[in-house]
Amino acid sequence: MKPIEDCVVGIVGLGLMGGAIAMALRNCGALAKNSNTVIGGSSITACGAASSGAGAARLLACDTDSEPLKAALAEGVIDEGFPSPENMLPRCDLVFLCLNPSTLLRFLDTWMPAFKPGALITDIAGIKGNIVDAVEKNLRSDLDFIPGHPMAGAEKGSFGGAKNVNFHGKNYILTPLKRNKSENLEFLKALICRMGFGRVTETTAEEHDHKIAFTSQLCHVIAAALIDCESDTGITRFGGGSFEDLTRIAMLNAPMWTELFLENRKELLARIEQFEKSLDKLKNYIVSGEEASLQENLRQVRERRTAMNG
Amino acid sequence: MKPIEDCVVGIVGLGLMGGAIAMALRNCGALAKNSNTVIGGSSITACGAASSGAGAARLLACDTDSEPLKAALAEGVIDEGFPSPENMLPRCDLVFLCLNPSTLLRFLDTWMPAFKPGALITDIAGIKGNIVDAVEKNLRSDLDFIPGHPMAGAEKGSFGGAKNVNFHGKNYILTPLKRNKSENLEFLKALICRMGFGRVTETTAEEHDHKIAFTSQLCHVIAAALIDCESDTGITRFGGGSFEDLTRIAMLNAPMWTELFLENRKELLARIEQFEKSLDKLKNYIVSGEEASLQENLRQVRERRTAMNG
């Protein structure tokens, strides 16, 4: 892989995460703004048309919605926007697929022939098993695909929320395939760190889906249930921070989380049941007034959570 | 009630919240530092002894533990510290009782005769029913007691954590008694706002305990159960913020929360069951793969949580 400074990078799907990744690539200096790109005025509607400085364009994006492309061009976040990947993919040395899992699988089916020979591809989907399966079966032999999952997000979705996504110090999970070129893996890890992430963990797709079912999906199910069970929106007058912290993620992207919950169903259900057991234990201590057991349990919880810090 | 600037204020219990209240009273200018108080050096060990500027001392505190008193004197947070309330209470126009609920009830039993005639008393306990009952039965007729609950806290307990408690813009609940003097209620509300709180809500003890069971106690039970069900402390490599946000409050003060859970048992159990029903509903959608129902439920949750903001 050539240095990132010499790469053309394509973002497929300029939503919350696609937008945040584009901004991070810009802000970290890896893909400086193309001085030839004319932004603002009439050119911001020229999505898909070759820009006046096409040869120098370095950060490209495609989206079926023209609004985020226009906004990203106007803000100088991308150099060129495309309504379809057709003319973008053949130019990209590195592609970030920033799509919901099911859309991503359909995208690979449809557009596999369009990728530039030798391109490095990565994704950001919150579930990895089905994606790794599909890629292992169907990826063109000259391409490299490193599945990834940046552990960051924000409540307000779409490109408009992208500037609120903070990558600084966050976790990034990679689930490399056996066929990945080690130089590409090193390249991507270095770029991830440069984008601000604090820790890159390599693991298998199975392990990712098992652990994410706990740290991410179960937490979203709990937050949703907590909001579902109280209809009084004025209850926040009685909030002291804990309720707000536990339910902030209930402002979720419903279609995407529905996909993630159902696609990782087996792992998630096992995690829900594990949680229910612990909840039941605490509940029983409270029902029966077992003060000493309850206090000891809470003491252990405090100790374990403290050990989890960092 | 005379202006706060002319009051002597006593803090009973200089832990996390007592310390935070003392600091807030100091920092908001209501109780400027007593220039006569000798702090540092040998005088910081002189807890309970009359200080050289006793007449001018305005912010007093008592605690059975001398360490927080020494620290608070050294930092200029209080003017005088007492190992017992005996010599402090008779001097205080306003008293903040910053004790766990059971300790608070015992304290009132023991020290009722020591309060200064006409004093205004308030507390900070996270449960109000039993405290209101006790006060309505046993309070001296010349005293006024306005039960309160500042909705703020921090993970690191004790006086050492007090500086991390942020009152700014937070909620404060008061559950006034019929016998409270309206001028005292206005006085306390104004002081609370001056300390930085953003919203003071007056309600009954029953309503407080009902709502707090949801916004506070249920959230702490859930956070504790979430940590209880996963023993791998390395799981945080797979955290993206939601797990951390949901479980930060699992670093709880075990004895105090045991008390709160058990004292508010009936309300809390009802809330746990309400939550379990919603969790079960979501779980069943996932088990049966009811994509449309799951997505619609998550959409409604997002809408409700968004309406709860602010």
The residue of chain A nearest to residue B296, with distances taken between CA atoms, is A254
Count helices and strands in chain B by DSSP H and E runs: 11, 9
| pLDDT tens by residue, A131-170 | 999 999 999 999 999 999 999 988 788 999 999 999 999 9
Of chain A, the percentage scoring pLDDT greater than 90 comes to 86
pLDDT of residue B144: 98
Put simply, the answer to whether B243 touches A219 (Cβ < 8 Å) is yes
Interchain pair A257, B215: CB under 8 A:
no
Please tell me the distance from the alpha carbon of residue B303 to that of residue A60, in angstroms, as a whole number: 34
| Minimal CA separation from B68 to chain A, in Å | 22
Q: Give B219's contacts in chain A (Cβ within 8 Å).
A: 226, 242-243, 246
- Closest-CA residue of chain A to B241: A152
The pLDDT assigned to B32 comes to: 78
For the segment A190-218, what is each residue's pLDDT rounded down to a tens digit? 999 999 999 999 999 999 999 999 999 99
Residues 6 or more apart from B293 whose CB is under 8 A from it? B285
pLDDT reading at B51 higher than 50: no
Where are chain B's structural domains? 4-203, 209-308
Residue A241, sorted as left (phi over 0), alpha (psi -120 to 50) or beta, turns out to be: left
Q: Which of B232, B276, B294, B306 is nearest to A260 (CA)?
A: B294
Is B301's CB within 8 Å of A173's CB?
Answer: no
Alpha-carbon torsion (B221, B222, B228, B232), positive or negative: negative
Contact A151 B277 (CB under 8 A): no
Dihedrals phi, psi of A80, to nearest 5 degrees: -145, 145
E strands, chain B, are: 9-12, 59-62, 80-82, 94-97, 120-123, 144-146, 148-150, 171-174, 199-202
Which H helix or E strand runs over A122?
Answer: strand A120-123
What is the residue-averaged pLDDT of chain B?
91
Q: Which class in CATH covers the domain with range A4-203?
A: alpha beta
Please list the residues that pair with A10 across neighbouring strands: A60, A95
Name the minimum distance, in Å, from the CA of B95 to any CA of chain A: 23
CB–CB contacts below 8 A, A to B: 275
Cross-chain CB nearest to A307 (options B233, B304, B309) = B233
B20 within 8 A of B152, measured Cβ to Cβ: yes
ipTM value, please give it. 0.88
CATH top class, domain B209-308:
mainly alpha
Whether residues A265 and B173 touch (CB distance < 8 A) is answered with: no
pLDDT value for B30: 87
Q: What is the pLDDT of residue B41?
A: 33
Mutate to test the interface with A, among B199, B217, B227, B272 (most CBs of A within 10 A): B227
User: Given this chain, do its domains B4-203 and B209-308 carry the same CATH topology?
Assistant: no
Set of chain B residues whose Cβ sits within 8 Å of the Cβ of A262: 286, 289, 291, 294
Residue of A nearest to B173 (CA): A238
Q: According to the model, what pLDDT value does residue B310 have?
A: 54
pLDDT at B169: 93
Nearest CA in chain A to B276: A225
Closest chain A residue to B292 measured between Cα atoms? A258
Residue of A128, A175, A197, A215 for testing the chain B interface, max B β-carbons within 10 Å: A215
Separation CA B105–CA B133 (nearest Å): 10
In A28-94, alpha helices (H):
66-74
Confidence category of residue A35, pLDDT binned at 50, 70, 90 = low
Residue B298's closest chain A neighbor by CA?
A254
**CA atoms of B147 and A139, how far apart (whole Å):** 67
Collect all residues of chain A within an 8 Å Cβ-Cβ radius of residue B278: 224-226, 228-229
Q: How far is CA B276 from CA B243, B273, B282, in A?
A: 19, 5, 10
**What is the average pLDDT value for chain A, to the nearest integer?**
91
Does A223 sit within 8 Å of B242, measured CB to CB? yes
Dump pLDDT digits (tens) for A264-287: 999 999 999 999 999 999 999 999
> Model pTM greater than 0.80?
yes
pLDDT of residue A38: 38
CB contacts, 8 Å: B214 with chain A: 230, 235, 238, 243
Determine whether the interchain pair B216/A242 forms a contact, defined as Cβ–Cβ distance below 8 Å. yes
Model pLDDT for residues B120-157, shown as the tens digit of each residue = 999 999 999 999 999 999 999 999 999 999 999 887 88
Cβ-based contacts of B229 with chain A (< 8 Å): 271, 274-275, 277-278
Tokens (6 digits) for B299:
């959409």
Per-residue pLDDT at B49: 42
Closest-CA distance of chain A to residue B113, Å? 32
- Averaged over B21-41, what is the pLDDT? 73
Residue A58 tokens, joined = 């370095």
- The reply to whether residue A282 touches residue B221, judged by beta carbons under 8 angstroms, is yes
Percentage of chain A beyond pLDDT 70 is 92
Contact A238 B254 (CB under 8 A): no
Q: What is the pLDDT of residues A47-105, one digit of tens each?
A: 344 443 444 679 999 999 999 999 999 999 999 999 999 999 999 999 999 999 999 99
Distance from CA of B228 to the nearest CA of A (A): 6
Number of residues in chain A: 310
